[in-house]
Structure 1
Amino acid sequence: MKVNLSNSSTNQVKQVKVGFSWTVFFFGLFPPLFRGDWKWFGILLIINLVIGIPTVGIGAGIVNFVFAFIYNKLYINDLLASGYVASDDTSRKILTSKGFIK
């Protein structure tokens, strides 16, 4: 399920998926890079390098698998903290039911 978030100061609207991130599962650190989410791209890059090099890539695969479960939640929380709000009632209801907003 997807929610629409808008920022009134920049007039940007973003559609964000809630739940498991299949893109992070299959492509690792590239989704944060392409979304311009520099903070989580850097964190994931460092973790992948630190864990992936000694384990010849196996550890990086495990990190990406775990991160796929939490990335969309982290991304939505960062957007909400930076001034984005739910654009419509359906998005607001989804965010409320998932515990993002009260």
Structure 2
Amino acid sequence: MNAEHLQEEFFHLIAYMITSARGLYEEPADYGVFRLLDSAGRLLGILQNQGLLTDRFLLDLKQKIDAERENSMDNERQRRLLDEWILAISEEMRRRLD
């Protein structure tokens, strides 16, 4: 793992997140959903590129996020998917805490 490269990737992610936060004042509210999903996908991508993403649950979640980022912004579909993912995450969290 190259620490300098990892810091550079995190710099770009943080810059994206901060500029996205500022853009939300002028953009439709729906963009916030996409930008948060995109940020989560980018973070998981950084971990994967560094060989740090070995958790099967997170690997599966990354694939789902990547697939959703390729789809059109359909509020109803995204709400349903987010509800499903939140339920899966809460169940996984419960399993890991036991």
TM-score by length of 1: 0.32
Name whichever structure is richer in strand by fraction: 1
Name whichever structure is richer in helix by fraction: 2
Which structure would you say has the larger RCO, counting Cα contacts within 8 Å and 6 or more residues apart?
1
TM-score by length of 2: 0.32
